[in-house]
Amino acid sequence: MVRAVGLATCIVLGSGCTQETFFCDTPEDCASEGGGGACESTGYCSFPDPECDTGRRYGDLAPSGLAGTCVPQTADTDGSTGVGPTSISSTSDSSTSASDTTLSETTSTAETTVTPPDSSTSTGDAESSSTGAPPECCDASCSTCGDACESEVLGSTDSGEALAVAVVGTTLFWTTGYNREVFAVDLTTGDSTLLAVADNTITNIATDDEHLYFLSFGNSVVTRIDLTTGAQNVVANVSDANGGIDFEAGFGQIVLDDSDVYFALVDPLQKTNGGAFRAPKEADEDQPPERIGMLQRPIGIGIDEDSVYVTDLVEEALIRFDKAALDSSGTEMLELNAAGHIYVADTAVYATGDGQVTRVPKDGSPPQLLATTDGNIRGITGDEQHVYFTDYQAQSVTRISLFDTEAPVQIASSPGAWGIALDCSHVYWCENGTLSVLGQAK
């Protein structure tokens, strides 16, 4: 979790200057000298301001369109009007204000270090479980490109965010977070079209050949969008499987197989417990999803043919469940502090947590720490040769060999790097610092 306070940041891009946004997960993330910081339902900090009707105004590190504006009034469950229901104030003070911390100061120590690989550990070919079927032709086109490869901006927005990305054939799909937009980019022509505007903030997506499935920050439903028409329908409503209790999904993970969608929901403000679930792709909101174990704050999820793998912030572990016995307690595979998203390959799971990437062999062999960063890993995926991950705070995109043939290498510097996806020749990622989606040859 990002714990930097205030992060008054400015990214110089050519002759322009674009402010980086800062997401909050808990009230403590919004601590300031004056106190009273709150993490709003949008995932951005607000602070007391008597000039606003709600008494609160978004901070400078909210995205364009929210920064500096008053938090709107919302209808509470009792019919009264007030600040959004997920706004929780932090009373803690901080010696650092928003104007005291610059990006260079907060990221100058963020770097990736490498733990020498154990040559006795083999991982085999990788199988993606996050954005549809794994490409069969994936291979790095330049094995030592590093910073030599140049990235290309494929799409951008003036407001909102750049959070999630996926590739289906020759079309790239990416989302603008709280702006709720899904854009489709033709990778052959560069043409961009608005595919859909969702009802809720989109945080994480997964695709097959026909649909894009997404998690919503502000509620506990899974919605899918037809990739051709943009039509939307709800396929899972978690409140039906949670005793009627609704909660915010936050930044959980979502993956697909041929028939089902698997997803982890974690309430960022810990108002209620979360859960991991499976639901048929062809289900609707009237059919409750099936709960996986009884996890309280799962955030990462991945699958293979026989198992479901989940990371949980309360259990502080990577846990394996048999698909045929999802109601079991599962088997712990790795102790994992500050757990994050995962990538499942043929013979190992690549787990993120506390700024680390760890290879966890499925056969029970000892786990292997592959990379450590001072930052905040937001996305991870892989192909037949490598695992790639983005680091929001360290502003980097990094590649790790599945076969230990090279040390981890930072292939791009990227302010606010977030969601990540691959095709056979390129790696694509969202750059929330510039509200853009980029592509670069592997």
The residue among 196, 176, 193 whose CA lies nearest residue 185 is 193
pTM, entire model: 0.71
pLDDT computed for residue 32 by the predictor = 82
Q: Are 194 and 233 in contact (CB under 8 A)?
A: no
Q: Which is it for strands 417-422 and 409-413: parallel, antiparallel or unpaired?
A: unpaired
What CA–CA distance (Å, rounded) separates 155 from 167?
14
Domains located in the chain, CATH noted: 1-108 (no CATH), 112-441 (2.120.10.30)
Coil, strand, or helix at residue 39? strand
Task: Give one DSSP letter per residue of 180-225, joined into a string.
Answer: -EEEEEETTT--EEEEEE-SS-EEEEEE-SSEEEEEETTSSEEEEE
Task: Give one DSSP letter per residue of 94-142, joined into a string.
Answer: -S--TTT--HHHHHTT--EEEPPP-TT----S----SSSSPPSS---SS
What CA–CA distance (Å, rounded) separates 191 from 352?
34
Q: Are 98 and 47 in contact (CB under 8 A)?
A: no
The residue among 232, 264, 231 whose CA lies nearest residue 130 is 264
pLDDT computed for residue 284 by the predictor = 62
CA–CA–CA angle 437, 416, 157 (5° rounding): 40
In order along the chain (442 residues), what is the average pLDDT of each group of 10 residues? 28 32 79 85 85 90 77 52 34 31 28 40 34 39 50 93 96 95 96 94 94 88 94 85 60 94 81 82 77 91 97 95 94 94 96 95 95 88 94 92 87 94 94 95 86
Give the DSSP letter of residue 150: P
